[in-house]
Amino acid sequence: MLDVVAVVLAALACVLAGLALRRTTSRPSGEGVDALPEDVHGLRQEVAALKAENADALRHLSVVRYDAFGDVGGHLSWSLALLDDAGHGTVLTSIHGRSEARTYAKSVAGWTCEQQLSPEELEAIEHARP
C-alpha cells in the first residue's frame, strides 16, 4: 500500500515539474530578447540618475586620532572629514585636554578650506580624497 502511494506522489511530482518547466520556457508575446535593449537603456538612465543624485552625498570620510597635548595620552583628540565627490563638506575637530574638550567645525570647498587647518585636519581631508 505504501509503495502505491509513493508511486502516485512521484508521478504527480513529475507532472508538476513538467508544468513548471513549460511555464519558464514559454514567453508571453511582446517579451524576450527584442525587449532587452529597451530595458538596458532604461537601466542605464536610472544608474546615471542615481550617480548624479549621489554626487552631493557625504560619501568620503576619514578620522584621524591623535594626542593634542604631550601630557594627555590615549589618542582622545580627533579630526573627522565629511566630504562629497567634489570635496565640499566639513571637517570636525575635537581637542581633548586634561580638564576640558573643545570642538571645532570648518567648511571645506573643493578639498581646501579658507581657514587655517591643523596638520591633522589636512591629513583627514587627504585620507578622505578618493
Q: What are the boundaries of each domain within the chain?
A: 54-128
The average pLDDT across 76-90 equals 95
Q: Kind and range of the H or E element at 5? A: helix 2-25
110-129 pLDDT, tens digit each: 999 999 999 999 999 999 99
State residue 78's pLDDT score.
97
List alpha helices for 26-82, DSSP H.
Answer: 36-54
The answer to whether residues 124 and 91 touch, using CB atoms and an 8 Å cutoff, is: yes
For the full predicted model, state whether its pTM sits above 0.75: no
Which residues fall within 8 angstroms of residue 114, CB to CB, at 6 or more apart? 107
Phi–psi pair at 92, nearest 5 degrees = -105, 135
- Tell me the pLDDT of the chain averaged across its residues: 85
- Residue closest to 91 by CA, chosen among 104, 77, 102, 101: 104
State residue 86's pLDDT score.
93
Angle 51-57-63 from CA coordinates, rounded to 5°? 130
| Amino acid found at 59 | R
Poorest-confidence range of 1-10, 52-61, 77-86? 1-10
Poorest-confidence range of 24-28, 41-45, 55-59, 85-89? 24-28
Reading the block at residue 119, the C-alpha cell is 596638520
pLDDT tier, 16 (very low <50, low <70, confident <90, very high otherwise): confident
